[in-house]
Every structure is written in structure tokens, then in C-alpha cells.
């Protein structure tokens, strides 16, 4: 039994949800998002809550039950609050700057890295060593953060590179003479 799937998703005021077949569309103050569930689950709207029920007892139906409920909760959270990822840059001479729709990264390579910011995501740099990624789609925000971090992942000796703000880098001891 899915413990996540059992909980209904509350729909706050100012948010409307429309279910048509296996597709749910959620509109809120920050925008509109939609999700198409598989045929293994049934989407229901009861009063001010959205719920998901499995269509059977197969393993796939139980897997999709919890997944669909989490996806719907992300839709509701995205159109009300939005999602945010924060990255930190550590290293001498490493910096970031936003110019229009391009994030320019200086990461110790012989050239600067130009990262095109996709639509639906806003990237800001309050400091040269901080990157803030915001948007309404949880998957897109996380993927953009992962793609930026991929350019120079933190190394375990000095911790140089791009890391998530709350990430812990396990440090290794260097060679001894």
C-alpha cells in the first residue's frame, strides 16, 4: 500500500484544477502546469482536494499511485509558491554573471562557459559566487541546476567547483611526505 498515494492533495484558494481523462491541468497565480497520468491510476477531484486511486493491485499500479500523487502535489506547489535551487561557486577566480538569457561562468577553463537559460526558468546571481534558479516546474528547475553543476562538480580535496548550497562535500586528506 502506498502511504504517499493515500494522502489527498489540498487545492488552495486561487488555484483551479481541471481533470479531463488522464490529464490534470492546474492554474494558479504563477502560471499553468499539466500532468498526464498513466492508465494504471484514476484521478479524482472531491471538493477542494485532488486524489489518486490505483486501478488494480499490480506492482506497476502501486508504483504509479505514489508517483502520480507526488507529481500532482508538485504542480500545485509550483503554481502557488514555485521552486528554487541555490548553487555556490568555490574556487579562486571562479565566478558567474547573467547577461540577458545567458549565464556566463568562469570556471578555470581556457574559455568562459556560456549556459543558455531555458524558458520557464529564471537565473539570478546576487553575488559572483552565488546562482539562484527559480521556476514553477520542479523537474525543469532541478535539471537546470544539475546541468550548471555538471560544468565543474566539486572536487574532494579543496572543494573547488559548483555545489548546491546545502550540499556537504566529503573532504579527503592530501598526500603526505
Structural domains for the chain: 3-80 (3.90.930.12), 83-164 (3.90.930.12)
Which residues, other chains included, contact 31 with Cβ-Cβ below 8 Å and sequence gap of 6+? 78, 79, 136
Which of 16, 31, 27 has the alpha carbon at shortest distance from 135?
31
50 and 8 Cβ atoms separated by less than 8 Å: yes
Instruction: Going residue by residue through the chain, which has 177 residues, state the pLDDT in tens, using 9 for 90 and above.
Output: 568 888 999 999 899 999 999 999 999 999 999 999 999 999 999 888 999 999 999 999 999 999 999 999 999 999 999 999 999 999 999 999 999 999 999 999 999 999 999 999 999 999 999 999 999 999 999 999 999 999 999 999 998 999 999 999 999 998 887
Amino acid at each position: 500500500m502506498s502511504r504517499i498515494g493515500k494522502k489527498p492533495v489540498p487545492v488552495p484558494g486561487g488555484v483551479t484544477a481541471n481533470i479531463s481523462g488522464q490529464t490534470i491541468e492546474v492554474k494558479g497565480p504563477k502560471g499553468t502546469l499539466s500532468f498526464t497520468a498513466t492508465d494504471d491510476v484514476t484521478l479524482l477531484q472531491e471538493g477542494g482536494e485532488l486524489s489518486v486511486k490505483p486501478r488494480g493491485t499490480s506492482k506497476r499500479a502501486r508504483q504509479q499511485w505514489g508517483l502520480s500523487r507526488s507529481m500532482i502535489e508538485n504542480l500545485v506547489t509550483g503554481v502557488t509558491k514555485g521552486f528554487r535551487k541555490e548553487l555556490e561557486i568555490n574556487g579562486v577566480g571562479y565566478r558567474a554573471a547573467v547577461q540577458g538569457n545567458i549565464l556566463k561562468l568562469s570556471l578555470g577553463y581556457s574559455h568562459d562557459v556560456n549556459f543558455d537559460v531555458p524558458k520557464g526558468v529564471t537565473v539570478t546571481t546576487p553575488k559572483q559566487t552565488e546562482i539562484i534558479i527559480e521556476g514553477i516546474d520542479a523537474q525543469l528547475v532541478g535539471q537546470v541546476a544539475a546541468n550548471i553543476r555538471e560544468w565543474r562538480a566539486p572536487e574532494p580535496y579543496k572543494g573547488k567547483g559548483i555545489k548546491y548550497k546545502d550540499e556537504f562535500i566529503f573532504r579527503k586528506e592530501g598526500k603526505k611526505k
